[in-house]
Amino acid sequence: MAIEQLFEAMPLHYLQHGISKFGAANVALAVFVTAALGVLADYGWMLYLRSKMPPGPFPFPIIGNTYYLPDNKPWVYFEQLSRKYDTPLITFWIGRNPTVWINDAWTANELLDKRAGIYCSRPRMLVFAELGAGQSNLVNMITTTQAERDRFRVQRKLMHQGVGIQQVKRYRGFQNDESKVVAYDLLSTPQDYVEHFERYATSVVSIIGFGRRVADPKDPIITEVIAVMHRAADLNVPGKTFPMLLETFPVLAKVPTEIAPWKHGLGRRGGSHRGHDFFYSLAAEANENPGHEDCYAKLLFKEAPKYNLKPQEISALSGNLFGAGSDTSSSTLITAVLAMRAFPETLIPAWEELDRIVGSGRSPSFEDEVNLPYMRAFVKEVFRWRSVAIIGGQPHAPVQDDYYNGYLIPKSTWVQGNVWAIHRNERDFPDPDCFNPGRFMKGSADARPFPGEKGYMTFGWGRRVCSGQALAEQGTWLTVARLVWGFRIEPARDERGQPLPVDIFDYTNGLNMRPNLFKVNITPRSEAIRQTIVREGEQALADLAQFEGETRYRMSTFYSKK
Protein backbone atom coordinates (compact mmCIF):
# COMPACT_ATOMS: atom_id res chain seq x y z
CA MET A 1 0.00 0.00 0.00
CA ALA A 2 1.33 3.40 -0.94
CA ILE A 3 2.00 5.86 1.86
CA GLU A 4 -0.77 8.10 0.52
CA GLN A 5 -3.26 5.22 0.73
CA LEU A 6 -2.12 4.42 4.27
CA PHE A 7 -2.87 7.93 5.45
CA GLU A 8 -6.21 7.89 3.61
CA ALA A 9 -7.17 4.66 5.38
CA MET A 10 -6.51 6.12 8.86
CA PRO A 11 -9.36 7.65 10.78
CA LEU A 12 -9.04 11.42 10.79
CA HIS A 13 -9.02 11.75 14.59
CA TYR A 14 -6.27 9.12 14.89
CA LEU A 15 -4.16 10.90 12.32
CA GLN A 16 -4.58 14.24 14.09
CA HIS A 17 -3.75 12.69 17.45
CA GLY A 18 -0.61 11.06 16.08
CA ILE A 19 0.66 14.25 14.46
CA SER A 20 -0.15 16.19 17.62
CA LYS A 21 1.69 13.66 19.75
CA PHE A 22 4.64 13.60 17.38
CA GLY A 23 4.72 17.43 17.27
CA ALA A 24 4.56 17.76 21.03
CA ALA A 25 7.46 15.39 21.45
CA ASN A 26 9.49 17.37 18.95
CA VAL A 27 8.66 20.61 20.67
CA ALA A 28 9.66 19.17 24.04
CA LEU A 29 12.90 17.85 22.61
CA ALA A 30 13.63 21.20 20.97
CA VAL A 31 12.98 23.05 24.23
CA PHE A 32 15.22 20.64 26.15
CA VAL A 33 18.06 20.90 23.62
CA THR A 34 17.77 24.69 23.51
CA ALA A 35 17.81 24.90 27.32
CA ALA A 36 20.76 22.53 27.55
CA LEU A 37 22.71 24.50 24.98
CA GLY A 38 21.85 27.73 26.82
CA VAL A 39 23.08 26.30 30.13
CA LEU A 40 26.27 25.03 28.49
CA ALA A 41 26.93 28.39 26.83
CA ASP A 42 26.25 30.23 30.07
CA TYR A 43 28.50 27.87 32.01
CA GLY A 44 31.22 28.30 29.40
CA TRP A 45 31.04 32.04 29.95
CA MET A 46 31.22 31.53 33.74
CA LEU A 47 34.34 29.37 33.37
CA TYR A 48 35.91 31.90 31.01
CA LEU A 49 35.37 34.69 33.53
CA ARG A 50 36.64 32.47 36.32
CA SER A 51 39.92 32.00 34.44
CA LYS A 52 40.40 35.77 34.34
CA MET A 53 39.06 36.80 37.77
CA PRO A 54 40.57 36.42 41.26
CA PRO A 55 40.69 32.83 42.56
CA GLY A 56 37.89 31.14 44.43
CA PRO A 57 35.92 27.89 44.71
CA PHE A 58 35.03 26.11 41.46
CA PRO A 59 31.48 27.12 40.44
CA PHE A 60 28.77 24.75 39.23
CA PRO A 61 26.36 25.60 36.41
CA ILE A 62 23.50 27.92 37.43
CA ILE A 63 24.06 27.56 41.20
CA GLY A 64 27.70 28.70 41.21
CA ASN A 65 29.15 28.37 44.71
CA THR A 66 25.90 29.17 46.49
CA TYR A 67 25.62 25.69 47.97
CA TYR A 68 28.80 26.27 50.01
CA LEU A 69 27.54 29.36 51.78
CA PRO A 70 27.09 28.95 55.55
CA ASP A 71 23.72 29.81 57.03
CA ASN A 72 25.18 32.51 59.27
CA LYS A 73 27.95 35.10 59.13
CA PRO A 74 29.28 34.42 55.62
CA TRP A 75 31.98 37.09 56.14
CA VAL A 76 33.80 34.62 58.40
CA TYR A 77 33.74 32.05 55.59
CA PHE A 78 35.08 34.56 53.06
CA GLU A 79 37.89 35.42 55.47
CA GLN A 80 38.77 31.71 55.61
CA LEU A 81 38.71 31.45 51.80
CA SER A 82 41.07 34.40 51.53
CA ARG A 83 43.52 32.62 53.80
CA LYS A 84 43.07 29.33 51.95
CA TYR A 85 43.88 30.86 48.57
CA ASP A 86 46.47 33.20 50.11
CA THR A 87 45.08 36.23 48.30
CA PRO A 88 43.33 39.43 49.42
CA LEU A 89 40.80 39.07 46.57
CA ILE A 90 38.54 36.07 46.10
CA THR A 91 35.69 35.43 43.66
CA PHE A 92 32.58 33.73 44.96
CA TRP A 93 29.66 32.93 42.68
CA ILE A 94 26.17 33.53 44.08
CA GLY A 95 24.31 31.58 41.44
CA ARG A 96 25.47 32.98 38.11
CA ASN A 97 26.69 36.26 39.59
CA PRO A 98 30.33 36.61 40.69
CA THR A 99 31.15 38.71 43.75
CA VAL A 100 34.71 39.87 44.37
CA TRP A 101 35.44 39.99 48.10
CA ILE A 102 38.22 42.26 49.35
CA ASN A 103 39.78 40.89 52.54
CA ASP A 104 42.72 43.25 53.00
CA ALA A 105 42.90 46.92 53.98
CA TRP A 106 45.59 47.86 51.48
CA THR A 107 43.77 46.26 48.58
CA ALA A 108 40.51 47.94 49.64
CA ASN A 109 42.32 51.26 49.77
CA GLU A 110 43.88 50.76 46.33
CA LEU A 111 40.63 49.79 44.62
CA LEU A 112 37.83 51.56 46.44
CA ASP A 113 39.64 54.73 47.55
CA LYS A 114 42.43 55.37 45.05
CA ARG A 115 40.30 54.16 42.13
CA ALA A 116 37.10 55.64 43.49
CA GLY A 117 36.18 57.00 40.06
CA ILE A 118 35.97 53.44 38.73
CA TYR A 119 34.34 51.80 41.76
CA CYS A 120 31.80 54.57 42.34
CA SER A 121 28.70 52.73 41.14
CA ARG A 122 26.40 50.06 42.52
CA PRO A 123 25.39 46.85 40.78
CA ARG A 124 21.79 46.11 39.95
CA MET A 125 20.31 44.93 43.26
CA LEU A 126 16.93 43.30 42.92
CA VAL A 127 16.16 42.48 46.55
CA PHE A 128 17.57 45.43 48.46
CA ALA A 129 17.06 48.05 45.76
CA GLU A 130 14.37 47.33 43.16
CA LEU A 131 12.18 45.41 45.61
CA GLY A 132 13.47 47.28 48.62
CA ALA A 133 14.62 50.84 49.22
CA GLY A 134 14.68 51.64 45.51
CA GLN A 135 17.55 51.78 43.03
CA SER A 136 17.16 55.60 42.85
CA ASN A 137 17.93 55.86 46.57
CA LEU A 138 21.32 57.50 47.21
CA VAL A 139 22.54 54.37 48.99
CA ASN A 140 21.75 52.09 46.04
CA MET A 141 22.09 54.40 43.06
CA ILE A 142 23.78 53.14 39.90
CA THR A 143 26.07 55.78 38.35
CA THR A 144 27.09 54.45 34.96
CA THR A 145 25.58 57.27 32.88
CA GLN A 146 26.10 61.00 33.08
CA ALA A 147 22.45 61.54 34.05
CA GLU A 148 22.79 59.04 36.91
CA ARG A 149 26.02 60.66 38.10
CA ASP A 150 24.39 64.08 38.05
CA ARG A 151 21.50 62.83 40.14
CA PHE A 152 23.86 61.12 42.54
CA ARG A 153 25.73 64.41 43.06
CA VAL A 154 22.48 66.23 43.78
CA GLN A 155 21.41 63.72 46.43
CA ARG A 156 24.90 63.51 47.89
CA LYS A 157 25.07 67.31 48.14
CA LEU A 158 21.72 67.43 49.91
CA MET A 159 22.78 64.70 52.31
CA HIS A 160 25.96 66.61 53.11
CA GLN A 161 23.84 69.67 53.84
CA GLY A 162 22.13 67.56 56.49
CA VAL A 163 24.97 65.56 58.07
CA GLY A 164 28.21 66.75 56.45
CA ILE A 165 31.38 67.32 58.46
CA GLN A 166 30.73 71.04 58.97
CA GLN A 167 27.00 70.66 59.53
CA VAL A 168 27.21 68.15 62.39
CA LYS A 169 29.16 70.58 64.55
CA ARG A 170 25.93 72.60 64.74
CA TYR A 171 24.23 69.61 66.33
CA ARG A 172 26.67 69.22 69.21
CA GLY A 173 24.42 71.03 71.67
CA PHE A 174 21.42 68.72 71.55
CA GLN A 175 23.60 65.67 70.81
CA ASN A 176 25.47 66.39 74.03
CA ASP A 177 22.18 66.83 75.90
CA GLU A 178 20.76 63.56 74.58
CA SER A 179 24.00 61.83 75.63
CA LYS A 180 23.61 63.25 79.14
CA VAL A 181 20.07 61.87 79.25
CA VAL A 182 21.46 58.40 78.48
CA ALA A 183 23.70 58.58 81.56
CA TYR A 184 20.77 59.91 83.60
CA ASP A 185 18.49 57.06 82.50
CA LEU A 186 21.15 54.46 83.27
CA LEU A 187 21.04 55.47 86.92
CA SER A 188 17.43 54.29 87.26
CA THR A 189 17.16 51.44 84.73
CA PRO A 190 20.67 50.23 83.84
CA GLN A 191 19.31 46.86 82.71
CA ASP A 192 17.61 48.65 79.81
CA TYR A 193 20.84 50.00 78.36
CA VAL A 194 19.97 48.79 74.85
CA GLU A 195 16.70 50.75 74.85
CA HIS A 196 18.47 53.84 76.16
CA PHE A 197 21.05 53.69 73.37
CA GLU A 198 18.36 53.20 70.73
CA ARG A 199 16.34 56.11 72.08
CA TYR A 200 19.41 58.36 72.14
CA ALA A 201 20.52 57.56 68.58
CA THR A 202 17.01 57.78 67.14
CA SER A 203 16.26 61.01 68.98
CA VAL A 204 19.37 62.72 67.63
CA VAL A 205 18.53 61.91 64.00
CA SER A 206 14.85 62.71 64.58
CA ILE A 207 15.74 66.19 65.82
CA ILE A 208 18.03 66.68 62.83
CA GLY A 209 15.51 65.34 60.36
CA PHE A 210 12.16 66.45 61.72
CA GLY A 211 12.78 68.84 64.60
CA ARG A 212 11.22 66.41 67.09
CA ARG A 213 13.02 64.47 69.80
CA VAL A 214 12.13 60.94 70.87
CA ALA A 215 11.66 60.87 74.63
CA ASP A 216 10.26 57.39 75.23
CA PRO A 217 12.26 54.21 74.46
CA LYS A 218 8.93 52.57 73.56
CA ASP A 219 8.09 55.22 70.95
CA PRO A 220 7.06 53.39 67.75
CA ILE A 221 9.47 55.50 65.71
CA ILE A 222 12.17 53.48 67.49
CA THR A 223 10.66 50.04 67.79
CA GLU A 224 9.04 49.89 64.35
CA VAL A 225 11.63 51.67 62.25
CA ILE A 226 14.61 49.87 63.78
CA ALA A 227 12.80 46.56 63.24
CA VAL A 228 12.48 47.45 59.54
CA MET A 229 16.16 48.40 59.43
CA HIS A 230 17.09 45.04 60.94
CA ARG A 231 14.92 43.26 58.40
CA ALA A 232 16.53 45.16 55.53
CA ALA A 233 19.99 44.35 56.90
CA ASP A 234 19.09 40.65 57.09
CA LEU A 235 17.87 40.66 53.49
CA ASN A 236 21.18 42.01 52.23
CA VAL A 237 23.34 39.24 53.69
CA PRO A 238 24.59 36.87 50.96
CA GLY A 239 22.66 33.64 51.29
CA LYS A 240 21.66 30.42 49.61
CA THR A 241 17.93 30.76 50.24
CA PHE A 242 15.25 33.10 49.02
CA PRO A 243 14.90 36.01 48.78
CA MET A 244 18.62 36.53 48.01
CA LEU A 245 18.45 33.96 45.20
CA LEU A 246 16.20 36.39 43.36
CA GLU A 247 19.45 38.13 42.40
CA THR A 248 20.31 35.04 40.33
CA PHE A 249 16.82 34.40 38.98
CA PRO A 250 15.22 37.86 38.66
CA VAL A 251 12.31 36.42 36.66
CA LEU A 252 10.97 35.02 39.95
CA ALA A 253 10.37 38.59 41.11
CA LYS A 254 7.54 38.85 38.56
CA VAL A 255 5.52 36.16 40.33
CA PRO A 256 2.69 37.78 42.34
CA THR A 257 3.60 38.12 46.01
CA GLU A 258 0.43 36.30 47.08
CA ILE A 259 1.68 33.03 45.58
CA ALA A 260 5.43 33.61 45.95
CA PRO A 261 6.61 32.66 49.46
CA TRP A 262 10.18 33.69 48.58
CA LYS A 263 9.00 37.31 48.34
CA HIS A 264 7.28 37.42 51.70
CA GLY A 265 8.79 40.03 53.97
CA LEU A 266 9.79 42.28 51.08
CA GLY A 267 6.83 44.57 51.61
CA ARG A 268 4.29 46.15 49.29
CA ARG A 269 4.35 45.65 45.54
CA GLY A 270 6.43 42.55 46.22
CA GLY A 271 9.11 44.87 47.55
CA SER A 272 9.82 46.75 50.75
CA HIS A 273 9.09 50.26 49.54
CA ARG A 274 7.34 50.49 52.89
CA GLY A 275 9.40 53.44 54.02
CA HIS A 276 8.83 55.67 51.02
CA ASP A 277 5.38 57.07 51.74
CA PHE A 278 5.93 56.86 55.50
CA PHE A 279 9.11 58.94 55.62
CA TYR A 280 7.71 61.41 53.10
CA SER A 281 4.72 61.90 55.40
CA LEU A 282 7.01 62.47 58.38
CA ALA A 283 8.99 65.02 56.38
CA ALA A 284 5.86 66.79 55.11
CA GLU A 285 4.48 66.93 58.65
CA ALA A 286 7.73 68.49 59.91
CA ASN A 287 7.72 70.97 57.04
CA GLU A 288 4.26 72.17 58.01
CA ASN A 289 5.06 72.60 61.70
CA PRO A 290 6.19 76.05 62.85
CA GLY A 291 9.63 76.44 64.41
CA HIS A 292 12.92 74.57 63.96
CA GLU A 293 13.48 76.15 60.58
CA ASP A 294 16.82 74.41 60.17
CA CYS A 295 15.53 70.82 60.37
CA TYR A 296 16.47 68.64 57.42
CA ALA A 297 12.89 68.06 56.22
CA LYS A 298 12.35 71.79 55.73
CA LEU A 299 15.63 72.05 53.86
CA LEU A 300 14.52 69.30 51.46
CA PHE A 301 11.17 70.93 50.73
CA LYS A 302 12.85 74.30 50.30
CA GLU A 303 15.36 72.86 47.81
CA ALA A 304 12.84 70.63 46.03
CA PRO A 305 11.95 73.09 43.21
CA LYS A 306 15.61 73.94 42.59
CA TYR A 307 16.66 70.29 42.19
CA ASN A 308 13.33 68.92 40.94
CA LEU A 309 13.15 66.54 43.90
CA LYS A 310 10.47 63.87 43.63
CA PRO A 311 8.49 62.82 46.72
CA GLN A 312 10.28 59.47 46.65
CA GLU A 313 13.65 61.25 46.81
CA ILE A 314 12.54 63.39 49.76
CA SER A 315 11.33 60.25 51.48
CA ALA A 316 14.54 58.34 50.78
CA LEU A 317 16.83 61.14 51.94
CA SER A 318 14.79 61.54 55.15
CA GLY A 319 14.65 57.80 55.76
CA ASN A 320 18.38 57.41 55.18
CA LEU A 321 18.98 59.47 58.32
CA PHE A 322 17.43 56.66 60.33
CA GLY A 323 19.24 53.96 58.41
CA ALA A 324 22.59 55.66 58.84
CA GLY A 325 22.07 57.03 62.32
CA SER A 326 19.78 55.06 64.61
CA ASP A 327 20.52 51.36 64.25
CA THR A 328 24.23 51.69 63.54
CA SER A 329 25.01 54.20 66.31
CA SER A 330 23.10 52.28 68.98
CA SER A 331 24.75 49.02 67.89
CA THR A 332 28.19 50.62 68.24
CA LEU A 333 27.38 51.72 71.79
CA ILE A 334 26.25 48.20 72.70
CA THR A 335 29.55 46.88 71.35
CA ALA A 336 31.39 49.44 73.51
CA VAL A 337 29.65 48.10 76.62
CA LEU A 338 30.55 44.53 75.62
CA ALA A 339 34.19 45.55 75.22
CA MET A 340 34.20 47.25 78.64
CA ARG A 341 32.72 44.14 80.23
CA ALA A 342 35.01 41.66 78.48
CA PHE A 343 38.24 43.70 78.82
CA PRO A 344 37.96 45.63 82.12
CA GLU A 345 41.72 46.22 82.26
CA THR A 346 41.37 48.73 79.40
CA LEU A 347 39.26 50.99 81.62
CA ILE A 348 41.97 51.65 84.20
CA PRO A 349 44.08 54.02 82.06
CA ALA A 350 40.85 55.60 80.76
CA TRP A 351 39.69 56.38 84.30
CA GLU A 352 43.09 57.82 85.19
CA GLU A 353 43.02 60.12 82.17
CA LEU A 354 39.40 61.20 82.68
CA ASP A 355 39.84 61.85 86.39
CA ARG A 356 42.92 63.96 85.69
CA ILE A 357 41.45 66.01 82.82
CA VAL A 358 37.71 66.09 83.59
CA GLY A 359 37.25 65.28 87.27
CA SER A 360 33.94 64.37 88.93
CA GLY A 361 32.23 67.79 88.93
CA ARG A 362 31.29 67.61 85.26
CA SER A 363 31.15 65.02 82.49
CA PRO A 364 33.38 65.02 79.38
CA SER A 365 32.63 67.54 76.64
CA PHE A 366 33.53 67.79 72.98
CA GLU A 367 36.25 70.28 73.88
CA ASP A 368 38.01 67.66 76.02
CA GLU A 369 38.72 65.32 73.12
CA VAL A 370 42.04 66.92 72.20
CA ASN A 371 43.30 66.34 75.76
CA LEU A 372 42.10 62.73 76.02
CA PRO A 373 44.32 60.72 73.65
CA TYR A 374 43.59 57.40 75.35
CA MET A 375 39.83 57.90 75.10
CA ARG A 376 40.25 58.77 71.42
CA ALA A 377 42.16 55.53 70.96
CA PHE A 378 39.55 53.66 72.99
CA VAL A 379 36.72 54.77 70.69
CA LYS A 380 38.75 54.01 67.57
CA GLU A 381 39.25 50.50 68.87
CA VAL A 382 35.48 50.20 69.40
CA PHE A 383 34.99 51.00 65.71
CA ARG A 384 37.75 48.57 64.70
CA TRP A 385 37.05 45.67 67.06
CA ARG A 386 33.50 44.88 65.97
CA SER A 387 32.42 47.14 63.13
CA VAL A 388 28.67 47.40 62.71
CA ALA A 389 28.60 47.49 58.87
CA ILE A 390 30.54 44.25 58.74
CA ILE A 391 30.70 43.98 54.95
CA GLY A 392 31.16 47.69 54.36
CA GLY A 393 27.59 48.49 53.40
CA GLN A 394 26.22 48.03 49.91
CA PRO A 395 28.41 46.46 47.19
CA HIS A 396 30.44 48.64 44.86
CA ALA A 397 30.48 48.05 41.10
CA PRO A 398 33.13 49.21 38.60
CA VAL A 399 31.86 51.37 35.76
CA GLN A 400 34.39 49.71 33.44
CA ASP A 401 36.49 46.55 33.32
CA ASP A 402 39.40 46.86 35.72
CA TYR A 403 42.52 44.84 36.50
CA TYR A 404 44.33 44.33 39.79
CA ASN A 405 47.52 42.29 39.98
CA GLY A 406 46.60 40.74 36.64
CA TYR A 407 43.08 39.75 37.71
CA LEU A 408 40.04 40.96 35.79
CA ILE A 409 37.20 42.64 37.68
CA PRO A 410 34.46 42.97 35.03
CA LYS A 411 32.25 46.01 34.70
CA SER A 412 29.18 45.93 37.01
CA THR A 413 30.57 43.06 39.12
CA TRP A 414 29.56 43.04 42.78
CA VAL A 415 32.64 44.15 44.76
CA GLN A 416 32.33 43.86 48.52
CA GLY A 417 34.74 44.91 51.28
CA ASN A 418 34.92 42.29 54.02
CA VAL A 419 35.42 44.57 57.02
CA TRP A 420 35.45 41.55 59.33
CA ALA A 421 38.56 40.20 57.58
CA ILE A 422 40.12 43.64 57.09
CA HIS A 423 39.94 44.50 60.78
CA ARG A 424 41.13 41.06 61.88
CA ASN A 425 44.24 40.84 59.69
CA GLU A 426 47.08 39.74 61.98
CA ARG A 427 49.58 41.83 60.01
CA ASP A 428 47.70 45.06 60.79
CA PHE A 429 46.08 44.09 64.11
CA PRO A 430 47.95 41.35 66.01
CA ASP A 431 45.68 39.31 68.29
CA PRO A 432 42.70 41.00 66.58
CA ASP A 433 39.94 39.74 68.88
CA CYS A 434 41.64 41.35 71.86
CA PHE A 435 40.23 44.82 72.55
CA ASN A 436 43.39 46.93 72.71
CA PRO A 437 43.21 50.76 72.51
CA GLY A 438 47.01 50.80 72.43
CA ARG A 439 46.82 50.06 68.69
CA PHE A 440 45.80 53.69 68.17
CA MET A 441 48.21 55.37 70.60
CA LYS A 442 51.02 57.28 68.90
CA GLY A 443 54.36 55.66 69.63
CA SER A 444 52.79 52.52 71.05
CA ALA A 445 54.49 49.18 70.38
CA ASP A 446 51.06 47.84 69.38
CA ALA A 447 50.54 50.39 66.60
CA ARG A 448 50.89 49.23 63.00
CA PRO A 449 50.79 51.02 59.63
CA PHE A 450 47.34 51.29 58.10
CA PRO A 451 46.08 53.07 54.97
CA GLY A 452 44.23 56.30 55.64
CA GLU A 453 44.42 58.56 58.65
CA LYS A 454 41.64 57.06 60.75
CA GLY A 455 43.10 53.59 61.20
CA TYR A 456 39.86 51.73 60.48
CA MET A 457 37.46 51.18 57.57
CA THR A 458 34.18 51.07 59.45
CA PHE A 459 32.33 53.58 57.27
CA GLY A 460 33.18 52.37 53.79
CA TRP A 461 35.25 53.83 50.99
CA GLY A 462 35.55 56.37 48.22
CA ARG A 463 32.50 58.18 46.92
CA ARG A 464 30.27 55.68 48.71
CA VAL A 465 31.57 56.33 52.20
CA CYS A 466 28.77 56.58 54.77
CA SER A 467 27.24 60.06 54.71
CA GLY A 468 26.63 59.96 58.45
CA GLN A 469 30.22 59.17 59.38
CA ALA A 470 30.99 62.54 60.97
CA LEU A 471 27.78 62.49 63.03
CA ALA A 472 28.39 58.92 64.20
CA GLU A 473 32.03 59.51 65.13
CA GLN A 474 31.20 62.73 66.96
CA GLY A 475 28.37 61.25 68.99
CA THR A 476 30.06 57.91 69.67
CA TRP A 477 33.19 59.52 71.05
CA LEU A 478 31.25 61.73 73.47
CA THR A 479 28.83 59.04 74.65
CA VAL A 480 31.49 56.36 75.13
CA ALA A 481 33.69 58.86 76.99
CA ARG A 482 30.73 59.74 79.22
CA LEU A 483 29.94 56.06 79.87
CA VAL A 484 33.54 55.30 80.83
CA TRP A 485 33.77 58.45 82.98
CA GLY A 486 30.50 57.79 84.77
CA PHE A 487 30.10 54.05 85.24
CA ARG A 488 31.60 50.74 86.19
CA ILE A 489 30.64 47.99 83.76
CA GLU A 490 30.89 44.81 85.79
CA PRO A 491 29.63 41.21 85.50
CA ALA A 492 25.98 40.52 86.16
CA ARG A 493 25.52 37.64 88.58
CA ASP A 494 23.25 34.63 88.73
CA GLU A 495 21.09 33.55 91.66
CA ARG A 496 24.14 31.96 93.32
CA GLY A 497 26.18 35.12 93.01
CA GLN A 498 28.40 33.76 90.25
CA PRO A 499 29.43 36.15 87.44
CA LEU A 500 27.62 35.63 84.14
CA PRO A 501 30.05 35.24 81.23
CA VAL A 502 29.81 37.17 77.97
CA ASP A 503 30.65 35.90 74.50
CA ILE A 504 32.52 38.40 72.32
CA PHE A 505 31.50 36.45 69.18
CA ASP A 506 27.77 36.30 69.94
CA TYR A 507 26.55 38.78 67.32
CA THR A 508 23.52 39.00 65.07
CA ASN A 509 23.66 37.88 61.45
CA GLY A 510 22.48 41.08 59.76
CA LEU A 511 24.44 43.36 57.48
CA ASN A 512 24.57 45.79 60.43
CA MET A 513 25.56 43.40 63.20
CA ARG A 514 25.23 44.03 66.92
CA PRO A 515 25.80 41.90 70.03
CA ASN A 516 22.95 39.66 71.04
CA LEU A 517 21.52 40.71 74.39
CA PHE A 518 23.87 40.18 77.33
CA LYS A 519 23.57 41.13 80.99
CA VAL A 520 25.95 43.47 82.80
CA ASN A 521 25.95 45.41 86.05
CA ILE A 522 26.16 49.16 85.42
CA THR A 523 26.73 51.39 88.46
CA PRO A 524 28.07 54.95 88.93
CA ARG A 525 31.77 55.13 89.81
CA SER A 526 31.25 57.41 92.81
CA GLU A 527 28.60 59.38 94.65
CA ALA A 528 30.05 62.65 93.37
CA ILE A 529 29.77 61.40 89.78
CA ARG A 530 26.22 60.19 90.39
CA GLN A 531 25.23 63.64 91.61
CA THR A 532 26.84 65.22 88.53
CA ILE A 533 24.93 62.85 86.24
CA VAL A 534 21.64 63.78 87.93
CA ARG A 535 22.30 67.52 87.76
CA GLU A 536 23.40 67.43 84.13
CA GLY A 537 20.60 65.06 83.12
CA GLU A 538 17.88 67.26 84.57
CA GLN A 539 19.36 70.35 82.90
CA ALA A 540 19.63 68.48 79.59
CA LEU A 541 15.94 67.52 79.72
CA ALA A 542 15.06 71.15 80.29
CA ASP A 543 17.20 72.23 77.34
CA LEU A 544 15.65 69.55 75.11
CA ALA A 545 12.09 70.56 75.96
CA GLN A 546 12.03 72.80 72.87
CA PHE A 547 12.09 69.66 70.72
CA GLU A 548 9.20 67.88 72.42
CA GLY A 549 6.36 66.89 70.14
CA GLU A 550 4.35 64.04 68.66
CA THR A 551 3.78 62.66 65.21
CA ARG A 552 0.44 61.33 64.07
CA TYR A 553 2.08 58.62 61.95
CA ARG A 554 2.88 55.03 62.91
CA MET A 555 4.55 52.69 60.48
CA SER A 556 2.56 49.72 61.77
CA THR A 557 -0.76 51.36 60.83
CA PHE A 558 0.34 53.66 58.02
CA TYR A 559 -0.06 51.15 55.20
CA SER A 560 -3.05 49.31 56.59
CA LYS A 561 -5.09 52.43 55.83
CA LYS A 562 -4.10 52.51 52.18
Report yes or no: 317 and 205 within 8 Å, Cβ to Cβ: no
Contacts of 455 (CB under 8 A, 6+ apart): 380, 384, 439, 440
Domain for residue 107, yes or no?
no
pLDDT in tens, 133-142: 677 788 889 9
Report yes or no: 108 and 417 within 8 Å, Cβ to Cβ: yes
Please spell the DSSP secondary structure of 7-52, one letter per residue.
Answer: HHHS-HHHHHHHHHHHHHHHHHHHHHHHHHHHHHHHHHHHHHHHHH
Q: What is the pLDDT of residue 256?
A: 74
Q: What is the pLDDT of residue 268?
A: 45
How many CA within 13 A on the CB side of residue 360?
9
Measured distance CA(98)–CA(527) in Å, rounded: 59
Q: What is the pLDDT of residue 437?
A: 98
Contacts of 467 (CB under 8 A, 6+ apart): 138, 156, 159, 160, 163, 164, 320, 324
Measured distance CA(309)–CA(30) in Å, rounded: 51
Binding-site entries:
466
Domain for residue 139, yes or no?
no
Q: How many domains does the chain have?
A: 1
Strand pairing report for 487-491 and 520-524: antiparallel
Domain for residue 63, yes or no?
no
Report yes or no: 145 and 127 within 8 Å, Cβ to Cβ: no
Domain for residue 438, yes or no?
no
Distance of CA 148 to the CA centre of its chain: 23
The CATH number covering residue 165 comes to 1.10.630.10
Helix (H) or strand (E) holding 308: none
Q: What is the pLDDT of residue 511?
A: 80
User: Between helices 527-544 and 469-486, what is the axis angle to 10°?
Assistant: 140
Measured distance CA(128)–CA(243) in Å, rounded: 10
pTM here?
0.89
Measured distance CA(46)–CA(187) in Å, rounded: 59
Domain for residue 192, yes or no?
yes
Strand pairing report for 97-102 and 414-417: parallel
pLDDT in tens, 485-518: 999 999 999 999 999 999 999 999 878 899 999 9
Cα distances (Å, whole numbers) of residue 394 to 29, 54, 140, 240 = 43, 20, 7, 18
Domain for residue 11, yes or no?
no
Q: What is the pLDDT of residue 272?
A: 43
Low-confidence ranges of the chain (pLDDT < 70): 1-22, 132-133, 233-236, 239-245, 257-276, 323-325, 556-557, 559-562
Report yes or no: 363 and 533 within 8 Å, Cβ to Cβ: yes
Cα distances (Å, whole numbers) of residue 462 to 146, 179, 459, 466, 558 = 18, 30, 10, 9, 37
Query: Is 259 buried (19+), middle (13-18) or exposed (0-12) by CB count in 10 A?
Result: exposed
Binding-site entries for heme:
466
Q: What is the pLDDT of residue 244?
A: 64
Structural domain boundaries, residue 231: 151-345+462-558
**Phi-psi domain of 405 (left: phi exceeds 0; alpha: psi -120 through 50; beta: other):** left
Report yes or no: 328 and 512 within 8 Å, Cβ to Cβ: yes
Domain for residue 517, yes or no?
yes
Domain for residue 363, yes or no?
no
Neighbours of 472 (CB within 10 A): 24
Q: Which residue, among 321, 287, 315, has the nearest Cα to 301 in the 3D structure?
A: 287
Q: What is the pLDDT of residue 409?
A: 98
Q: What is the pLDDT of residue 94?
A: 87
Q: What is the pLDDT of residue 245?
A: 67
Helix (H) or strand (E) holding 404: strand 402-404
